[in-house]
Amino acid sequence: MFHFVLRRLASAVPTLFIVVTISFFLMRFAPGGPFNLERPLPPATMENLMRAYHLDQPLWNQYIQYLKNAVTGDFGPSYIYKDNTIAELIGKGLPYSIQLGTYALLFALIGGVTIGTLAALRQNSFIDFLVMSVATTGVTVPNFVVGPIMTLIFALMLAWVPAGGWGDGSLKFLILPVITLGLPQLAVFARLTRGSMIEALHADHIRTARAYGLPAQVVVVTHAMRGALLPVVSYLAPCAAALLTGSAVVESIFTIPGVGRYFVLGAINRDYTLVMGTVVLVAIFVIVFNLVVDILYGLLDPRVRHD
């Protein structure tokens, strides 16, 4: 197991290198640069800026310099948010995004698996139809519609919760953004769980367990659930990526100071270093989550072993 983790982490290095290289050059193909603004800069100023940020050097030099610095954890200064380095920007924003993402993931996972199981146990009943209709709605209605509508109802009309901001990070500030971010994922988890649970309930070993006269709860939770959760677990990695990118919209709707906004802002503003920083962040995130999923698979499915 330990060797497996080590091997996977080692293979992450070349992956990251390729990701960094491709994004570095792709970014530079886009016309314009970080200092081409609506309010144009005089040529002398532009020259001074290009020199100060070493953008006047050949691209290859810049690339090698970037790699050298990145290895030591220095991702450079932001060209747009000039008072901060990329490490500072991401360091300050990431805790908010991680909290928001974690709560949304838990909300989606627990909520989705619970209602998916309920629907499977009462297949084709009223509850089943209700759950599946809600789930379909959750997937199809985008978060930039759900968020503002919930804010209008719960913050403006009922005044139960604030309309935005992080505040002190307490439940009242978090509840709307967590639901908005988690809802589409909850719907996916519910559908996945329902499908695999129905299948699991018809499996031979479940019939055997039932025949032995085991209590229904034990049959469902201990035996059926284990197999039914496999598709759910494999969806965790794409789900985490979706939460990360979804946070760009949700953070902006609820004015939360996370890193989501940087994905979009960096690219639009040609903030080269910020784009690279976010790309590396997402890459690390996906690599780590895939590893977690593989480990969970080993624990849940006796046929998968990481020796």
Residues contacting 202, CB < 8 A, separation 6+:
none
CB of 145 to other proteins, least distance (A): 12
- Tell me: does residue 168 bind other proteins (CB under 8 A): no
Of 11, 15, 21, 36, which lies in the binding site for other proteins, with binding defined by CB under 8 A? 36
Neighbours of 151 (CB within 10 A): 20
CB of 250 to other proteins, least distance (A): 11
| Residues 222 to 251 in contact with other proteins, rule: CB under 8 A | 251
CB of 164 to other proteins, least distance (A): 5
- Tell me: does residue 158 bind other proteins (CB under 8 A): no
Of 7, 51, 205, 305, which lies in the binding site for other proteins, with binding defined by CB under 8 A? 51
Residue whose CB is less far from other proteins, 235 or 272: 272
- Tell me: does residue 26 bind other proteins (CB under 8 A): no
Count the site residues for other proteins by CB under 8 A.
52
Among the listed ranges 20-28, 86-94, 107-115, 275-283, the one in contact with other proteins (CB under 8 A) is 86-94
Residue whose CB is less far from other proteins, 80 or 104: 80
Contact characters 250-279, other proteins, x per CB under 8 A: -xxxxxxxx--x------xxx---------
Contact characters 56-85, other proteins, x per CB under 8 A: ------------------------xxxxx-
CB of 151 to other proteins, least distance (A): 5
Residues contacting 285, CB < 8 A, separation 6+:
240, 241, 244
Among the listed ranges 48-56, 179-187, 222-230, 276-284, the one in contact with other proteins (CB under 8 A) is 48-56
Residues that bind other proteins (CB under 8 A): 30-45, 48-49, 51-53, 80-84, 89, 92-93, 148, 151-152, 155-156, 159, 162-166, 251-258, 261, 268-270
